[in-house]
Every structure is written in structure tokens, then in C-alpha cells.
A and B are shown apart, each in its own frame.
Chain A
Amino acid sequence: MTLALVLAAALAVACVVAVALPFIREPEPESDELDDLDDAERHRLALLEERDRALAALKELEFEHRTGTVSDEDYRAQLGPLRRDVASALQALSRDQEEGRPDDARN
């Protein structure tokens, strides 16, 4: 019975320590701000995702054309718009990169 109580107490103490650890490690931190993305970074991320999605769609079209799921006609019809999507995504991204480099401040 006492063993149980001792173990339980030890467990509780260990948990309190685990929970308090961030505060113990950094009693006075430089910044307690949550490392979150700011608007510029989020915008950049969205553009990156758009680029990747457009590239993936193009790749999938190629693949499906090669396996025969997409006919030559449909392939020709869809290729143009998808390529334009990729181009505009890349353009938007390079514009954003020229305007400012939010990641410079970090490194």
C-alpha cells in the first residue's frame, strides 16, 4: 500500500516537472512568441503549394496520357491550360521572391 503511494507520488512529481520543463529551461526567454508564420510567410507557402499542385497535375496528365487513360485529343486540350497554371504559379512565386525575402531575417 505504501509502495503504491510512493510510486504514485513519484509519478505525479515527474509529471509536474515535465509540464513545467519549458518554464524551468527558459525562465526569462528573449521572446515567448509562438513561432508562427506571419502573413508574408503564409502567402509564400500558399504560392509554393499552388506551384506544387500545378506541377503535380501536369505530371499526372502526362502519366495518364502515357497509360492511355487520357486520349490524345483530351491530352492536347488539357495540356495548354495546365502548363499555363504552372507558368502563372511560377511567375507569382518569383514575383513574391523579388519583393522581399522573409526568410532572410531568420537565418
Chain B
Amino acid sequence: MPELGRAALLVTLGLSLYALVAGATAAHLGRRRLARSAQNALVASFATTAVAAVVLLAALLRNDFSFTYVARSTSEALPTAYTISAFWGGQEGSLLLWLLVLTGFGAAAVSLNRSWARDLIVWVVPVFAAVSTFFAFLVVVVASPFASQAAPADGAGMTPSLQNPYMLAHPPLLYLGYVGLTVPFAFAIGALLSRKLDERWLIATRRWTLFAWAALGIGQLLGSHWAYVEVGWGGYYAWDPVENAALMPWLAATAFLHSVMIQEKRGMLRVWNVLLVILAFSLSLFGTFLTRSGVVNSIHSFTQSSIGPWFLAFIAVVVAVSLGLVLSRLPQLRSPTKLESAISREAAFLYNNLLLLALCLAILWGVVYPMLSEAVRGEAIVLGRSYYDFFLRAFGLPLLLLMGIGPLVAWRRASLASLATTFRWPTGVAVVTGVLLLLLGAGSSIPGLVAYTFAAFVLATIVMEFARGTRARKALGAASWPSAFGSLISRNRRRYGGYVVHAAIVMLAIGVAGSSAFDSVAEAKLARGDSLRIGDYTLVYRSLDERASANATEIRATLDVRRGDRELGTVEAGKNAYTIEDQVSNEVGIRSDKLTGEDLFVIAEQIDPDGSIYFRVFVKPLVNLIWLAGLVFLVGSLITLWPDRREQRRLVARASEVGIPATR
């Protein structure tokens, strides 16, 4: 049935093109039925893309190797779950997934939008359609998932390193994030085109942006966890260009998320906001270009294909048109409100923007530097991890501190006296923590110590805010402390959900600082019975076993773990040898200490025929805080995303006061 898939995608391309042309014409000339028709086309393009997606999924599930894509990425023996993940495991399928999510979001954004925002939609449709036309063009002309062939007896199988549950969650989540950024971008461009430059487009897209940002964040954390437990080199982030490809738009989106609050409340930073959303969207396109084009030396790559130049061209067009539009609307974008004081919440958000942007651009520079130096000097110069670590500290540590300061500075103008009062307690907590840690030996890494101290400061401010807020609600007449707490959060979802997210970021910072600044490593070649000491752990290599699984032979070494004189059980580390794919994968052994969040990380690097093994062992303090932070991040994001009926009623009331019809 590849013909059905191809036909469906061709119809998608046609519909997107129609939505683009008809939508733009309708918006420009003010034609209602044409606008509606373009909107229908956008929604229909989701249906046709879904048909194509179902065709590919069905082909995968019934192992139809007449589809070249299916034969290349799966085999008969591959477990069903991984067969499903093969959908997005390669170039063509992942582009189809992108298009599916894109058209889905487009259909949802124009159909589900609230009555009070309907007048914004007319320009959003053609902008969205422009993006989906590009991706539809790619899957129809350049990289079709529906190429067919004479079916071979069996497929080529899937790379062992992709055969794990992470492959089911990590790419789709990232795509929800990347593609989700298209919605605020489309609304922003729509606002610029229609000259409706007030805050309504921000409010209309707020939850979309939050959702995309949260998905991108969690997707990245999942990717890091995958790298940590499955790839198993002892780390979770390598500043690989493809990892950075997701981090950069996330940082830009973080700046955007914060900066829009200033525009909503004070009408300021309008130019910043349109530029930030354009940057976030462009970076998400650039990110996927990096991943797919093979243009940088990276451990993740798709086949070298002709897709790179198309992406570059599209990104160039997007950036040029967007910036041109911003320039032409600049006079109207200037806000009447001015920054009153360098010490104010507005200023804090401005510093926040600057730091996040600086970090994002520093990473971007590191990623493109090899390409630029090759073009200019004929030689690709690669910047190593020390470059990224430096800037992460230079900009990340002040950002960490700002997370605690920003929410507590007054609007417009804060007096130093009031700052001193507000921050007295958190500063005290931070200083005491810093001194204690110094005494416990944390001075071995100054950036680590600084990170811990700042983290303590921010946590103290968050606890303080929750405590004071609950007390205030109790004083207002809440029935009990728990209900005061509950009503505090439900009435101020953005603020307190945001605090929970900040707490998650603090936990992340502590986990990263602990596991990278204060970790230790030991290596040795052990024969059976030999032991290895690291920190206060002793490991004894006991036995080596071999067992067979569905598609691999698993070799595992068992080690006894002891700390001091306490037996802590065993840990297994070894390798899997995959038969069909003829590849070996590393299977690390991790023993997590529930109390301290510390990990004992064991790699069996080399297994010799006589049974002696070269082991590499890490002790990673606090690393599990990173994964816990992911859960807290999810909770915080959900709180901020949760629909707020009071706010909704207000928006609808406002619209009806003006006379925006509820239906159209």
C-alpha cells in the first residue's frame, strides 16, 4: 500500500499549499468564506497526514518489507514495541512524524482556539501552512517514507542501542517540543502581519508555549537518562551538537516564557518577545537540520542525505522574512512604558533574558564554529567540552542566583532597604550552607561549591514564598493550613507552578554539580576474586555468567559491593552481543543509594577470554537528583498548564463586551 501513503502525502502538500495561498489572500482581502476554506484545508491536512502515518505504522507492524523504510529499520525478530519506534528511527519516518505533529497542532490551534482569539486566526493559518508546506514538500519530493522495493526475506534490523524504552518516548517528546514552538511563532508572525501587536497573541499561545517547552525539557532529560544508563560512558551530557540542538531552542523558549510575563503586565519588551520566539523557532529548525544533515561530527547522525541544503534554505527564508517583518513594524512595537529602575522585577527579567540568550548564543557559536572555521580558514576547528563548561558556569551560575532574586524584587522600583529585608533569611541560609559544605570538603571545586550555595539560596526563597503565601491565605480566612496551601496554588497557578519548576531546576543544578564537580573514578583489571576500591566502596569481582535472550547473548559479571564493613549487595555489569545486527553493546551496572542519591556506576570495559575484566567505576554523588528533578519539573509544568476557569471567564467576558462573536 505504499501508493496510498504517497497519495495521502501528496494531498497534504496540496492542502498546505492551498491553505497558504488562500489563507494569505483571505487575510489580506478580508474574505470570510475563503478564510474558512483555508482553515478547513489546514485541518484536513492533518487527516491526510494521519492516513499516511497509519499506512506506515501498519506496514511496520505487519513487517511489510516491500516498504524500503521498513526493511531498513526492522526485522522479523524485533519486538513489537521497538518496531513501532522504528517509525521515527530514520530520516523519512521522523520527518513524517514531524509533519503529523505539525498538522495536528495546526488543526488544534485553529479549531480549539477560544472565542476571544478568533480574529487572530486568520493570519495564523497561512503562516502555519507555510511551515507545513515545507515539511510536506520534503516527505513528498526529497525523503519519502514510501519508497518501495522487491520485498527481501528479512529486514536489516534495528541498531541495538535503539532497542530500549527510551526510543519510544524521547524522540516523540522532543518533536512535541520542537513542533510546538511553531504555534507561538505562527501567532507572532500573524500578529506582525496584521499589526495587532498587543498582548492577545501572547495570551492565546501561552499554554502552547508552556506545553512545547515542558515537552522539550522532559524529552532532553529522558535523553540524558538514556545516555547515562544505556550508552553508559559514565556521563549524561556530552555537549554533542545534537544534544545542543535541543538545548538551544529550549533556552530561547525559557527566555521567551519569562519575558512574556513582562509584556503582559507592563507592556514592555515587545521587541524582545517577537525576536525570542523567532529565535526559538529558528533554532528548533536549525536543530533538526544539524541532526539530519550530517554536517557536523556527531555521534547521532542520519545518513548523509541531500536534505541539508533544503533546511538551510528554509531557515534562511524564515529568518529573513521574520526579521524583515519585525523591522517594518518596529515603530508600532515600541512600548510606551519605560524601565524605571535597574533594580526592579522588570530589570531582573531583562537580565534573565540576557543571560539565557548569552548562554544560548555561546552554545550556538560552539556548534557552528567548526563549520565557520572550515569555510573561512579551510580547517574545521572543534571547541571541546571545556568551552561549554566555562560558559555554562559563567552564565548558568548567575542565572541560578537570579531565579531566587527575580520573583522577590518589587515591580517598577525596589529600594535597597526592602531588598535587604526580603533576602536576609535566604542569604543567611546560603552562607551557612556554604560554610558547612566548605568544612565538609566541598572546596575541592569552587564552581561546585558556588552552585550549591546559590541553590540553597534559591530553595530558601521558594520555601519562604510558599510559607508566606500560605500564611497570608490563612489570614484571609482559609479553613485550615492544607486548604490555605491548596487555594494559594490554585489561585496563583502561574506563580506557584513556576516556583515548583524553579525548585526542579535547582535540584537539577545540585545534581549536576554533585555528579560532575565532586565525582570520582577508578579503573583496574580484575581477575575473579580481585577487588577494587573507590571512595569508601570496595567491589569484589565474583563471577561471570552468560545467558541468551530473544535476540542477544548477555554476558554479565557479578560484583559484591561493600561500604566500610556493610555489605551492600551485588551489582552486575557486562555486555550484550546481538546476533542479527552483529554488534556488541555495553550494559553498565548502577547501584543507587536511595538516601544520598549517589550512584556507584560500574562499566565492564573489556572482557578477556580468561575471564579477567577491565573495570571502570565511578562514584557520582547526588546524580539521582537530576532524574527526580524531572518529576518535579513535570508537576510544576502541569500546575502552570492547568486550565484556569476564572481567567477564561474574564477573557470571554471581555470579548463579549466588545462584541467579538462567540461563533463564526
A and B are interacting partners: yes
Q: B90-133 vs A: 1/0 string, CB under 8 Å?
A: 00000000000000000000000000001100100000000000
Q: Does B7 contact A (CB under 8 A)?
A: yes
Query: Which residues in chain A, 18-66, are within 8 Å of chain B measured between CB atoms?
Result: 18-23, 26, 29, 31-37, 41, 44-46, 48-49, 52-53, 56-57, 60-61, 63-64, 66
Contacts of A35 in B (CB 8 A): 32, 118-119, 661, 664
Known: A8-B8, A19-B41, A57-B411. A70 touches B36 (CB 8 A): no
Q: Does A15 contact B (CB under 8 A)?
A: yes
Q: A54-87 vs B: 1/0 string, CB under 8 Å?
A: 0011001101101111110110001000000000
Contacts of B418 in A (CB 8 A): 70-71, 73-74
Q: Does A103 contact B (CB under 8 A)?
A: yes
Taking the closest CB of chain B, its distance from the CB of A28, in whole angstroms, is: 11
Q: Are A57 and B7 in contact (CB under 8 A)?
A: no
Interface centre among B33, B40, B44, B492 (most CB of A within 10 A): B33
Q: Are B475 and A18 in contact (CB under 8 A)?
A: no
Contacts of A18 in B (CB 8 A): 40-41, 43-44
Q: How distant is the Cα of A60 from the Cα of B664 in the complex, in angstroms?
A: 35
Known: A15-B44, A15-B48. A29 touches B33 (CB 8 A): yes
Q: Are A48 and B654 in contact (CB under 8 A)?
A: yes
Contacts of B34 in A (CB 8 A): 22
Taking the closest CB of chain A, its distance from the CB of B418, in whole angstroms, is: 4
Q: Are A102 and B659 in contact (CB under 8 A)?
A: yes
Q: Are A64 and B26 in contact (CB under 8 A)?
A: no
Contacts of A32 in B (CB 8 A): 31-33
A34 CB contact (under 8 Å) in B7, B18, B122, B475 = B122
Q: How distant is the Cα of A33 from the Cα of B118 in the complex, in angstroms?
A: 15
B30 CB contact (under 8 Å) in A21, A33, A61, A78 = A33
Q: Does B580 contact A (CB under 8 A)?
A: no
Known: A15-B48, A63-B472. A74 touches B198 (CB 8 A): no
Query: Contact size class for B?
Result: 35 or more
Known: A1-B3, A11-B11, A106-B659. A69 touches B422 (CB 8 A): yes
Taking the closest CB of chain B, its distance from the CB of A98, in whole angstroms, is: 15
Q: Are A78 and B3 in contact (CB under 8 A)?
A: no
Contacts of A61 in B (CB 8 A): 411
Query: Which residues in chain B, 356-385, are within 8 Å of chain A measured between CB atoms?
Result: none
Q: B40-76 vs A: 1/0 string, CB under 8 Å?
A: 1101100110010000000000000000000000000
Q: Are B408 and A106 in contact (CB under 8 A)?
A: no
Residue of A with least CB distance to B408: A69
Query: Which residues in chain B, 249-268, are within 8 Å of chain A measured between CB atoms?
Result: 264-265, 267
Known: A33-B32, A69-B410. A20 touches B37 (CB 8 A): yes
Contacts of B408 in A (CB 8 A): 69
Q: Are B411 and A11 in contact (CB under 8 A)?
A: no
Residue of A with least CB distance to B30: A34
Q: Are B410 and A74 in contact (CB under 8 A)?
A: yes
Q: Are A15 and B472 in contact (CB under 8 A)?
A: no
Q: How distant is the Cα of A74 from the Cα of B664 in the complex, in angstroms?
A: 47
Q: How distant is the Cα of A29 from the Cα of B33 in the complex, in angstroms?
A: 9
Taking the closest CB of chain A, its distance from the CB of B490, in whole angstroms, is: 14
Q: Does B295 contact A (CB under 8 A)?
A: no
B15 CB contact (under 8 Å) in A15, A36, A64, A73 = A15
Q: B406-444 vs A: 1/0 string, CB under 8 Å?
A: 001011101101100110000000000000000000000
Beyond A4-B7, A49-B200, A71-B417, list 9 extra A-B contacts (CB 8 Å): A3-B1, A8-B8, A34-B122, A37-B658, A57-B411, A63-B492, A64-B410, A67-B472, A102-B658
Q: Which residues of B contact A (CB under 8 A)?
A: 1, 3-4, 7-8, 11, 14-15, 18, 26-27, 30-37, 40-41, 43-44, 47-48, 51, 118-119, 122, 198-200, 264-265, 267, 408, 410-412, 414-415, 417-418, 421-422, 465, 468-469, 471-472, 475-476, 492, 650, 654, 657-661, 664
The contact sample of 19 A-B pairs, CB cut-off 8 A, is A4-B7, A19-B44, A21-B40, A22-B34, A23-B37, A32-B32, A34-B32, A34-B122, A41-B658, A46-B198, A48-B658, A49-B199, A52-B650, A53-B265, A60-B265, A67-B471, A70-B418, A103-B659, A106-B661
